[in-house]
Amino acid sequence: MKVNTDGVLLAAMADFKCPAKILDVGTGTGLIALMLAQKYTSAIVHAVEIDQSAADTAKLNFLKSPFSNRIALFHSSIKEHFTNSTEQYDLIISNPPFFINSLSSQNEKKSVARHTDLSFFEVLLTESAKHLDQSGHLCIILPLETAEMVKKMDSGLKVQKEILIYSFADSKPHRTIMVMGFEILVPLEQKIVIYESKGVYSMVYRDLLKDYLTIF
């Protein structure tokens, strides 16, 4: 799982006040962690990845980056990482596996990366609640159906903002970015449209990613 739209959108749309310590759960090859290290120039970024080959690639990407002194890679499951860590984070972010109870793909690595069950999200939410600073946030991107299931979980974290993602202005949203925290707020709702027309990115999308992708 390399560079993908979900990942770049999640990182580019992260809008938080100078988080000092960030955790990227399921970092893959390190895309989100690198983008956040670029955005938040004094932040320490921890990145967790269970797949060995992806973790090796992420570690190499981190070492070759200008942010190598601020990013640490942990090869473990999220449960193991949280169990062995006493860290408190200002921001926990994840582009997680989200095909709930679906059939595994033929490609084993993609199956690990994109398929899961509700227990993954139960661990993510409950452990995030334990390891977030009181003013911190959990930020995740999900299909809408999965997001509705996640909202019903009792972890102490409340949805504070949702950003609905549309492929085209006249299409239905297919993803949502959820920002969760401890404070009970009236949830804000925003939206972003990726394409102006087939094969043509919208200006909003281009502006979001111009600092990260050379194609813009």
Going by pLDDT thresholds of 50, 70 and 90, the confidence category of residue 118 is confident
Least confident of 9-18, 111-120, 198-207: 111-120
Q: How confident is the model at residue 109 (pLDDT cuts 50, 70, 90)?
A: very low
Q: Is the dihedral of CA 201, 190, 122, 151 positive or negative?
A: negative
Say how far apart CA 194 and CA 209 lie, in whole Å. 11
Distance (Å, rounded) from C-alpha 13 to C-alpha 204?
11
The amino acid at residue 163 is: I
What is the CATH T-level fold of the domain 5-152, as seen in this structure? Rossmann fold (3.40.50)
Concatenated DSSP letters of 65-125? STTGGGEEEEES-HHHHHHH----EEEEEE----EETPPPPSSHHHHHHHEE-HHHHHHHH
Mean pLDDT, residues 102-129 = 65
Return the domain boundaries, the chain.
5-152
> Under 8 Å CB-to-CB from 91, ≥6 apart: which residues?
14, 16, 19, 21, 22, 23, 36, 136, 137, 139
- Token pair belonging to 22: 């960030």
Opening angle at CA 6, ends 5 and 9, nearest 5: 80
Residues 8-65 pLDDT 10s:
999 999 999 999 999 999 999 999 999 999 999 999 999 999 999 999 999 999 999 9
